[in-house]
Every structure is written in structure tokens, then in C-alpha cells.
Amino acid sequence: MSTAPQLVVHRDKELMAQAAAARLITRIVDAQASRGSASVVLTGGRNGNGLLAALAAAPARDAIDWSRLDLWWGDERFLPEGDPERNVTQAREALLDSVPLDPKRVHAMPASDGPHGTDVDAAAAAYAEELAAAAGPENHGPVPTFDVLMLGVGPDTHVASLFPELPAVRETDRTVVGVHGAPKPPPTRVTLTLPAIRAAREVWLLAAGEDKAQAAAIALSGAGEIQAPAAGAYGRSRTLWLLDGAAASQLPRSLYPPASA
């Protein structure tokens, strides 16, 4: 069941990153207090990495028990381990290398020089198996019920590596798929599908900058998920759009309260 999106609009991308980082710290601490551990799905790109850098700089980050946090990824560029373009490489640089995570709970997506070689579909299937192994009876499905799943929104409305009209956005059964021929480089990727994304308690969509304004307007105007994948990304209990003023510039003010600006 979809949850109606809530919007929070911040003055600029720096404030948005800082506020989102504070919000994430709170969610993780609350989840750990109530269930003992927390699980978060990270996103790459400038907004995802900006949030991680803001989290690294936040004094409140020490409130998190990093050893009881599971980290997953929404998508990954199918490149060799350590490639600077990989989301996990950028995440390690922005935050992960500076906090005491349990390495066994950092679930990076396979690299193109990993055990599956250059077979991206086998790599995707292996990640789906890892997700299924982490899902308990309480999760009611083949993936864990993530506490927070974050997604950057592309100028074309893509989220994770689900691009408009391509096969991956149409997937209804598998939780992870290989992507061939993505319209932005690199063309080969691994991505969660919409069914996996919708398993999250909360889905947060991050958009900052004028180049994201049209995408936000399309996705929030009732567009279909095949044409606008961001429109199909929602959480079980909450769907939150975190935007800066530039990304929100084409939205009707009726969509968000004036106070949030």
C-alpha cells in the first residue's frame, strides 16, 4: 500500500544535507532503542554523498551504535572493487571509514571483478540471496524491512538504477536485477527493484538543484512509475521527499507547508 508523500523543503542543499543527516541519526537511534539494531539503504550521487559527509561531521553521530547497524545499497555501478565511481567507494570515503561499523553488516553490492566476474545478472541474484538471508519471519517477504531507504532522484526521474521505460522498472517479482544499457554511464549496473524498495518502513527521496526541479514536479504530479520511476518509490509507513528550494521551484506551494521553506 502506498503512503502519500510528505515534503520538506530546505533553503539550500547544504542545509538539506545537514537536516537529513540529523533526521537519519534520530531514526537509527530510535530503531536501535526499540529493536536492538537498525538497517539503512544508502544512495550514491551528490545528494547521497552530501548527506553522508554531513553525518560524518555531525557531533550527534556518536549517539549511533555503529556495530548494530546494517547498511545496504539501492544500486551500484558494476565496476571493479575500489573504483572511484562505485557508490560504496564514495560512501567509504564520505563516512564509513571513519565510524566503527561491523564489516559483516556492510552489505556492498558485488563488483565486476568479484566472484561472479562480469556476469551482472549473477551478481544481482547473489545480492537478492543476501537480502533474503537477512529477512526474518517478521519481514513478510524476501528482503528485510529496512528502517530507512534513501534514493537520489535523477533529472529524468530515475531512482536507484531504475530508468524510465527500461525493463528493471517493470520488474514485479525479483528484488534485485542487473541493468544493461543504462542511459547514463556506466551502462551496466545492479539495482533494487520497486518491490524491494517498497519493503522499507520509510523511503526518503533526495533532490537538490535546479536540474531536479522538473523531475520532482513530474513525479509528484501523479505520473506513472514506468514513465517516472520516482513516482513508484514509497515506504510502508512514510514516504518523504527532502528537497532544496531550487528542486522544489516547479512544485505548487499547496504540496508543502510554507513553514518548511
Q: How far is CA 53 from CA 14, 17, 37, 162, 248, in A?
A: 10, 8, 22, 25, 23
Is it the case that residue 138 has pLDDT exceeding 90? no
**Which pTM was predicted?**
0.96
Q: Which residue has the cell 560504496?
A: 88
Q: What is the pLDDT of residue 139?
A: 78
Tell the burial category of 172 from Cβ atoms under 10 Å away from its Cβ (0-12, 13-18, 19+).
exposed
Is it the case that residue 77 has pLDDT exceeding 90? yes
pLDDT tens digits, 176-188: 999 999 999 999 9
Which cell numbers hold the place of 82? 575500489
Q: Which of the four pLDDT bands, split at 50, 70 and 90, describes residue 259?
A: low
Cα–Cα distance measured from residue 86 to residue 78, given in angstroms and rounded to the nearest whole number:
8
pLDDT tens digits, 187-220: 999 999 999 999 999 999 999 999 999 999 999 9
Q: What is the pLDDT of residue 122?
A: 98
pLDDT tens digits, 34-69: 999 999 999 999 999 999 999 999 999 999 999 999
Q: Which of the four pLDDT bands, split at 50, 70 and 90, describes residue 229?
A: very high
Q: What does the pLDDT average to over 22-45?
A: 97
Q: How far is CA 180 from CA 89, 113, 162, 191, in A?
A: 21, 17, 11, 11
Can you state the angle between helices 45-57 and 13-35, rounded to 10 degrees?
A: 70
